[in-house]
């Protein structure tokens, strides 16, 4: 079944969707993106994704060509026409179309593209049984806090992980874990949830922001600090979060079992707490 997608103001069948070869997103990865989860036809952590979208646009000087209400209306229409019950909405905004030149004119009209993807997020093998990670050197640029479409380092990291039989890459900078290839990373040691603090070295995950509020609300100890790969190997439990995986247990890193190699009780609890939050706050 083909999808209806959104390209620069119009809804078209995916087979008819076109962007210019001169789009700066294509030529320079000069653009940003967001991915929002859909549960029961509703959007999860929507306000957080919108504020990060605006933050990313501001950070690279792309004007806001659509209001949040306009974006929401397009997303709702995409979810509606495609009858999306569970999955993702991808949105990308690039600086626009111009003859190739590194330097850009300030008056370009941004390109806006959105499409939906069907995906089981709540109940699947990864969330049920946990996943394996493979550590990979973090080769990304210095502004990982911007959700840039320049994702080559993540593409290569995640492919390396997948080729090694792992579900996700665990990105390592100077012996320390930054995050997953496309997820935030956490370990649990002696009852404390440990995750990298918000700096330019990681993307400020929206699922992370919601989850950390839930961690505090459930009186689970939290330490936002860097941790080494060795600490990760020795953790009692581990997990990753993203809009595309919610809370996903990690049962092995580099073929070393985490804890007893089974999904642990704190991660199971956080999984449920996050799903409950998502259902309660979906819009």
When the beta carbons of 45 and 97 are compared against ligand PLP, the nearer one is 45
Which residue in 30, 168, 179, 201 binds ligand PLP (CB under 6 A)?
179
Distance CA 204, CA 168 (A): 18
Minimum Å gap between C-beta 147 and ligand PLP is 7
HEC sequence for 23-91: EHHHHHCCEEEEEEEEECCEECCHHHHHHHHHHHHHHHCCCCCCCHHHHHHHHHHHHHHCCCCCEEEEE
When the beta carbons of 82 and 148 are compared against ligand PLP, the nearer one is 148
Q: Which of 257, 40, 250, 271 is nearest to 126 (CA)?
A: 250
- Told to check if 212 binds ligand PLP by CB under 6 A, we report no
Minimum Å gap between C-beta 207 and ligand PLP is 3
Distance CA 282, CA 260 (A): 35
- Told to check if 158 binds ligand PLP by CB under 6 A, we report no
Is 83 among the residues known to form the active site? no
CA 74 to chain centre: 20
When the beta carbons of 157 and 263 are compared against ligand PLP, the nearer one is 157
Minimum Å gap between C-beta 195 and ligand PLP is 11
Residue list 32-61, contact with ligand PLP (CB under 6 A): 35
Q: Which stretch binds ligand PLP (CB under 6 A): 125-133, 175-183, 222-230, 253-261?
A: 175-183
- Told to check if 31 binds ligand PLP by CB under 6 A, we report no
Q: Which residues contact 276 (CB under 8 A, 6 or more apart)?
A: none
* 53-57: Cβ within 8 A, 24+ apart: 53/91, 53/93, 53/147, 56/32, 56/146, 56/147, 56/148, 57/32, 57/93
- Told to check if 247 binds ligand PLP by CB under 6 A, we report no
Q: Which residues contact 27 (CB under 8 A, 6 or more apart)?
A: 21, 100
Strand partners, 32: 93, 148
Which is catalytic among the residues 42, 147, 213, 269?
Answer: 147
Minimum Å gap between C-beta 179 and ligand PLP is 5
Which residue in 56, 116, 127, 183 binds ligand PLP (CB under 6 A)?
183
Which residue in 243, 248, 251, 253 binds ligand PLP (CB under 6 A)?
243
**Which spans of this chain sit near ligand PLP (rule: CB under 6 A)?**
35, 179, 182-184, 203, 205-208, 241-243
Which positions are catalytic? Answer: 147
């Amino acid at each position: 079944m083909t999808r209806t997608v959104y390209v620069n103001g119009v809804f078209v069948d995916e087979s008819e969707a076109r962007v210019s070869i001169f789009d700066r997103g294509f030529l320079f990865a000069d653009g940003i993106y967001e991915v929002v989860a859909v549960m029961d036809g509703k959007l999860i952590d929507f306000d957080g994704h919108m504020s990060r979208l605006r933050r990313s646009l501001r950070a690279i000087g792309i004007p806001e060509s659509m209001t949040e209400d306009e974006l929401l209306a397009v997303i709702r229409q995409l979810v509606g026409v495609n009858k999306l019950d569970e999955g993702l909405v991808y949105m990308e905004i690039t600086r626009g179309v111009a003859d190739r030149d590194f330097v850009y004119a300030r008056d370009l009209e941004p390109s806006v593209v959105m499409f939906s993807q069907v995906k089981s997020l709540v109940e699947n093998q990864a969330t049920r049984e946990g996943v394996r990670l493979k550590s990979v050197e973090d080769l990304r640029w210095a502004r990982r806090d911007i959700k840039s479409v320049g994702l080559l380092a993540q593409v290569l990291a995640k492919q390396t992980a997948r080729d090694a039989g792992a579900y996700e890459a665990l990105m390592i900078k100077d012996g320390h874990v930054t995050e997953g290839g496309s997820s935030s990373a956490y370990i649990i040691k002696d009852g404390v949830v440990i995750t990298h603090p918000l700096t330019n070295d990681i993307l400020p995950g929206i699922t992370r922001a919601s989850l950390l509020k839930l961690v505090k609300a459930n009186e689970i100890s939290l330490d936002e600090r860097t941790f080494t790969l060795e600490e990760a190997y020795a953790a009692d439990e581990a997990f990753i979060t993203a809009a595309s995986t919610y809370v996903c247990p990690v049962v092995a890193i580099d073929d070393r079992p985490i804890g007893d190699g089974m999904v642990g009780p704190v991660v199971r609890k956080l999984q449920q707490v996050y799903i409950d939050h998502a259902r309660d706050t979906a819009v």
